Structures are given as structure tokens and as C-alpha cells.
Structure 1
Amino acid sequence: MTPLVKAGVIGGILTSLAGAGYASTYLFPSPTKKVSDLITRQDLYMLLKTGNNEDTTHWTKAWEAYKKDNNGNENDIFGLEGWKSDGSVDVTAKLKEKCGILKGSLVYDTDDSQYKNITKYCGRAITVEDEAKKDSTLTIINTETSGTAGDWDNKHTNRSNLKAYIEKLGMTFSGINANQIKEGCKVAKTKDKVTNKDQYSGIYEAYKKVCTK
């Protein structure tokens, strides 16, 4: 093989390799979207707090869901330290630890399976109560104490003007009393953006009218 031919062959190989690398980069780009930023932009979920004694109830639910979905699998989705295929060992602390790391990871988009897993096991859907808490013009009427009886009485007195909103929250309007409105709001505050996606705006508006002041 002459030096000229040899140079041509080598050049062709290098060109092919460079082209393959370019094509690979072009066809299979790396994920670039940070999970926590994507969650903020999508505005459907919120990440669970990972501090001590924070979001305890929600972490319990997350662990139960994780345990159920990974039951029988030697290799669990997040590769948690201490995981047992039968879920017999509670590794909620490891789940929280992993979630704290994963929120900073990169994914392709909201359809990425990793993103879906993170929102499912490390977060929860935003509720009408969460939304109302962010609105400085609203005060959520407490549904857990008796100290707000006057507020619920006022809602009952004004019930005729609130009929459509009361029914939108799933309450039966006929014969409703102040305590039933209070109990209805206790249930309604958990309505979220994901489960009620198509009707959420109407539900949130009703929640503001009936359950806040």
C-alpha cells in the first residue's frame, strides 16, 4: 500500500469515527433538565421535605408505594441500601436520602421514567390547600379546631350565594349545616392537581370561596 493510499484509508476511518460520534451525540443527546427545576416549571408536584420529622405522613405513604411497586424485585428502582425484595426492612430513611440526591439529577423531560419515579416516590401532587397557602390574600379556615365556629357559621349563613361552589367541592347542598361545610372543606383540601387535572381550576376557585376567608 502506497503512503498516499494509506493516508487516504486512515483519513477515511477517522472521518467515519468522527461522524459516528457526531451522530451518536445528535441522535442520543444527554439529559439536560434538572429534576427540581422541571418540577417547579411543571407545577403539578412538590418534592417532600427531607429534614427530620418533616412530611412524615407523606414519607410513610411514599415508602408504602415504593415497597408495593418493588415487591419481589431483588433490584429495586432506586437501588436503596438495605432493600429486601419482600420489603420486610423499612428503609424509608434511605429513600429520603436518595430522594435528596435525585432532585438534583438530570432527566430528558417530564416523560422520562426517572422523572416519573422521582415525582411518585420523592414528591406528591400539589393540593388546593398548598395553593391557597401561597396566596397571601387568603386565610384558610381551620378545620381541626372548634375555635373557628364563627367562620363556619358565616359560611352557612351565606350558603345560598355559595351553592355552586359547595356542590363543586362534592358536598350535598340540601340541608347542609355549618359543621358539614367544615367537614367538607377538610376533605376538599386534599384535592390535587394531578387527580383532578381537568377540573382543578374550578375546584380551587370553589375551595377559595367556601373554605377560606
Structure 2
Amino acid sequence: MKVARKAVRDIRREQLIEAAIRAISQHGIGETTIADVVKEAGMANGAVNQYFASKDVLLLEALRAVTGEFREIWHQARDKAGEDPAAVLEAVAMAQFHTKVCRHERISVWVAYWSETRFRPKYMEVCTESDAEYGEALMMACRGLAQSGRYKALDSEKAGQFLLAAGDGLWVNIMLGLITRERAVDLMRAHLKSVFPRHY
């Protein structure tokens, strides 16, 4: 019975976190209210207080949810790629365009949190940790391919940093409706080909 109750509690928490993500994508962080969240979740007004100590705690958990979602996607992509350095780099670089995270709702949420990082140290901590881990994975993948592919003149650190920055820029362009996700994928593949022409 306790297990069942705990499972229901976890489900309700997840529903509220997902509702908070949807609300933030529509209203931004500053304008998102508890009323917006419970409306999105289809729950009673007091629901948030039953599962989260405060609105701030809920918003932080929503950020952890989106960063965790992305982390899981690129980890799985990297692990599936096997041992081939070119496959690993492609998998890690292209993971940021996975349909689960590369869509208007999720990108809007990322941008909303990043815009608040200067004022909220906890947001900065979570965002920079996520970016640092992904950035390091990109640089490691670039190093691996540069070494195995004998791209001796290539600065793999700069290549990895550029891939990270390019992904952010493409995400913003997708959010603004300037390009499609498919076009962003094409552009990233074209860049990989220009840097590692013997492998893409």
C-alpha cells in the first residue's frame, strides 16, 4: 500500500513538473503562476503545496527535469554509437536536435531559464553544469576523431566549443521560427563535414 501511495505521489510530482514546463514555455518564468501550473496539470489549486515546498522549488525541479532529459538523450546516443570516433562525435553533436528536446516548448524553457541565471544562482549552477558536461563530451569526441583520423592541424578544443555554441544558436533560430529543425540538422552535418571531411 505504501509503495502504491508513493508511486501516485511520484506521478503527481512529475505531472506538476511537466505542467510547469508547459506554463513556462507559454508565459516565461517571471509570469508563470501557481494557477497556471495547476491549470495545465488539471489539478486543484492546492496541489502544488502538497508536493513542493514553494513555487521556487517547483521551478528548480522543472529546470532539473529538462536538463536531465537532455542528458539522458545524449548519453544514450553516445553509448549507442559504439567505438567508432566519427559515429560518437556525430551522435553527441546531433543529440541536441532530437525531437524530444529540439522543439519550441523545450527550447523556450531553456531560453527562459538562461535569461534568469544572472539573478538566480541555483539556475546558473544547474545550467552551467549541464552545458559543461555536454561541452566536455563534444570536445572529447572531437579529440577522439582528430587523433584517430589524423587531423593534425585541427584544434579539437576549439572545434568542440564551436559545436556547442553553434547548437545554442541553431536552437534560438528554431525557436524564433527562422529555420526548421530539419534545416538545423543539415547545417550541423555540413559543419561536421567541413571540419572532418574524410569522415562525413
Normalising to structure 1: TM-score of the pair?
Answer: 0.28
Larger radius of gyration: 1
Of Structure 1 and Structure 2, which has the larger fraction of its residues in strand?
Answer: 1
Of Structure 1 and Structure 2, which has the larger fraction of its residues in helix?
Answer: 2
Normalising to structure 2: TM-score of the pair?
Answer: 0.29
